[in-house]
Amino acid sequence: MTVLLEIPANLVEYIGYFGSFLTSITFLPQVYKSWQSKSVGDLSIWMIFIVLTSTIVWLVYAFAIHSGPVISANLVVLVLTLVLLYFKLTFPKK
Amino acid sequence: MTVLLEIPANLVEYIGYFGSFLTSITFLPQVYKSWQSKSVGDLSIWMIFIVLTSTIVWLVYAFAIHSGPVISANLVVLVLTLVLLYFKLTFPKK
């Protein structure tokens, strides 16, 4: 395979961890905004369902390959998305 | 390392592809809903910024490790998130 990017292996690993960290906190500002506004009408519940499903799939994958960063990232996403789902189901529609 | 899940290697790979697929389409229902409603007030722009940043970080990572599934998943997420950003910046606030 063609080498597309020549980055030291160590650095690649750190980049992966940074990506995992960012992915973990993706829904943090959304949870905060939704909590403040108590308004989630514009959020797609299908997006939430897809995130929940993908998180569970990724967790199975991550346990199978023993990937700590993928496990922890997806656990955080799972919790934040469950909070969003709770908001979506309980906040009054406007 | 403890083997937490005993899944055949082939199957693990397919689970990874399925996770990539689901992650790719995460923002598809959100783009559709936002396009239909022309309303994105409840969406956190910080969520969008974090997704954009993480996507770029993952793309660097994926090119470095030559991971086709991670590259393609993140390209799709990048495009869908740019569409959401465009909506967020152009749809009138309600």
- ipTM of this complex: 0.88
pLDDT for the residue B2: 55
Q: Which of B61, B75, B81, B84 to mutate to test the interface with A (most CBs of A within 10 A)?
A: B61
DSSP A61-86: HHHHHT-HHHHHHHHHHHHHHHHHHH
> Which DSSP helix (H) or strand (E) runs through A62?
helix A45-65
Whether B68 has its CB under 8 Å from any CB of chain A: the answer is no
A7 Rama sector, left if φ>0, alpha if ψ -120 to 50, beta otherwise:
beta
Q: Is the pLDDT of residue A6 over 80?
A: no
The fold of A9-90 is Monooxygenase (1.20.1280)
- Domain-wise residue ranges, chain B: 9-90
Whether A56 has its CB under 8 Å from any CB of chain B: the answer is no
- How far A82 CA lies from chain B's nearest CA (Å)? 15
Q: How many CB atoms lie within 10 A of CB B1?
A: 5
Q: What is the pLDDT of residues A35-79, one digit of tens each?
A: 999 999 999 999 999 999 999 999 999 999 888 888 999 999 999
CB contact under 8 A, B26 and A61: no
With CA atoms as reference, report the closest residue to B33 among B20, B22, B42, B45: B42
> Which DSSP helix (H) or strand (E) runs through B89?
helix B68-90
Least confident of A2-6, A25-29, A68-72: A2-6
Q: What is the pLDDT of residues B16-63, one digit of tens each?
A: 999 999 999 999 999 999 999 999 999 999 999 999 999 999 999 999
CB contact under 8 A, B57 and A4: no
CB contact under 8 A, A42 and B46: no
- How far B72 CA lies from chain A's nearest CA (Å)? 15
